């Protein structure tokens, strides 16, 4: 015969076992959740580490690209100074002689003004960042904004230079110069030949004759033609000075951006 006390004891033991199972189950859940959180934390840490390493590579690539741009701008400035010098020599010729005295030196500087230079910026790194969305790996928002502003600015300068060359140099200046000068394939200043070696091509035999120069002299004795050449020289110098001013601003922006990029790397 089973006593009441025995039944009570069995029920009590059964309850204690259920409680232990509940505690065990809760413990298991806690351990699983804790494990998941640790795994997520490790994964996030690893992702952040990889992003940080890639950001470092990006910043270094931008520094390399910007230094290349400084060299690119230096070459562009050289060209602008050649045109300013050639324009000055053309005006000096008129001032000294109270007219244009046509000689090889004058023709050299007139021919210099026919050459023009586009500006192709170094934007490979930035274009890759923009197209892949990796520009957002740059955590410093202020620095990222400055990078975007700079690359927009250099792209605008490149496009503006291209338009100026097409509409102002090719269609306006060169059209008038072609009618006022005797173009020779090797008749350029020493500076222009060094800047653009293509201008050193040997003259053709007929280009060595002076008989065409005499016709140019007659043409430039006409006051309208003389004024036209004066305007061309002045306007080409104006365009070059505008380019130089813009280049100086860009150079200043690049140097400032380089310092900020280097400072950002130093903080790592």
What pLDDT does residue 203 have?
Answer: 63
d(CA 165, CA 84): 16
Instruction: List the one residue out of 203, 229, 200 whose CA is nearest residue 102.
Output: 229
For residues 113-130, average pLDDT: 95
Q: What percent of the chain has pLDDT over 90?
A: 69
* Each residue's pLDDT tens digit, 243-254: 999 999 999 999
Q: How far apart are CA 206 and CA 213, in angstroms?
A: 12
Side-chain-facing half-sphere of 45: CA atoms under 13 Å: 6
Q: What is the pLDDT of residue 128?
A: 95
Total structural domains within the chain:
1
| Mean pLDDT value across residues 53-69 | 96
Check residues 14 and 196 and name the one with the higher pLDDT: 196
- Does the pLDDT of residue 65 top 60, yes or no? yes
Q: What is the pLDDT of residues 178-206, one digit of tens each?
A: 999 888 777 899 999 999 887 666 666 65
C-alpha span between 173 and 176 (Å, rounded): 5
**CA distance linking residue 126 with residue 251, whole number of Å:** 18
- Burial string for 58-81 (b: 16+ CB within 10 Å, else e) reads bbeebbebbeebeebbeebbebbe
pLDDT at 43: 78
Tokens 């790592």: give the residue: 268
Task: For residue 81, give every residue at least 6 positions away whose Cβ sits within 8 Å of its Cβ, in sequence order, or none.
Answer: 240, 244
| Angle in degrees, CA 241, 244, 245, rounded to 5 | 90
Quick one: tokens of 232? 């061309």
Q: For position 8, what pLDDT does the model report?
A: 45
Q: Are 77 and 157 in contact (CB under 8 A)?
A: no
* Predicted local distance difference test score (pLDDT) of residue 36: 83
Helices (H) and strands (E) in the chain, counts: 8, 0
Cα(first)–Cα(last) distance of the chain, in Å? 81
Task: Reply yes or no on whether the pLDDT at 114 is more than 80.
Answer: yes
Q: Are 65 and 124 in contact (CB under 8 A)?
A: yes
Q: What is the pLDDT of residue 45?
A: 79
Domain residues for 262?
4-266
Q: Are 187 and 210 in contact (CB under 8 A)?
A: no
């Amino acid at each position: 015969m089973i006593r009441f006390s025995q039944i009570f004891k069995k029920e009590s033991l059964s309850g204690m076992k259920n409680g232990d199972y509940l505690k065990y189950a809760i413990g298991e859940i806690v351990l699983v959740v804790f494990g998941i959180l640790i795994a997520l934390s490790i994964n996030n840490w690893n992702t952040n580490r990889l992003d940080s390493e890639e950001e470092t590579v990006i910043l270094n690539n931008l520094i390399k690209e910007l230094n290349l741009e400084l060299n690119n701008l230096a070459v562009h400035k050289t060209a602008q100074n050649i045109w300013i010098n050639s324009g000055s020599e053309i005006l000096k010729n008129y001032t000294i002689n109270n007219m244009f005295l046509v000689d090889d030196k004058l023709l050299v500087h007139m021919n210099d003004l026919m050459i023009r230079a586009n500006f192709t910026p170094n934007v490979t790194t930035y274009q890759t960042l923009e197209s892949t969305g990796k520009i957002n790996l740059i955590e410093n928002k202020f620095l990222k904004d400055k990078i975007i502003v700079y690359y927009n600015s250099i792209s605008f300068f490149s496009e503006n230079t291209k338009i100026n060359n097409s509409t102002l140099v090719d269609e306006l200046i060169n059209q008038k110069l072609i009618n006022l000068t005797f173009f020779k394939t090797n008749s350029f200043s020493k500076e222009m030949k060094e800047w653009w070696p293509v201008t050193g091509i040997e003259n053709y035999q007929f280009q060595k004759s002076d008989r065409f120069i005499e016709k140019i002299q007659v043409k430039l004795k006409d006051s309208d033609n003389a004024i036209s050449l004066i305007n061309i020289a002045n306007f080409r110098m104006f365009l070059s000075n505008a380019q130089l001013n813009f280049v100086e601003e860009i150079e200043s922006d690049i140097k400032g951006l380089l310092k900020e990029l280097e400072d950002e790397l130093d903080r790592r």
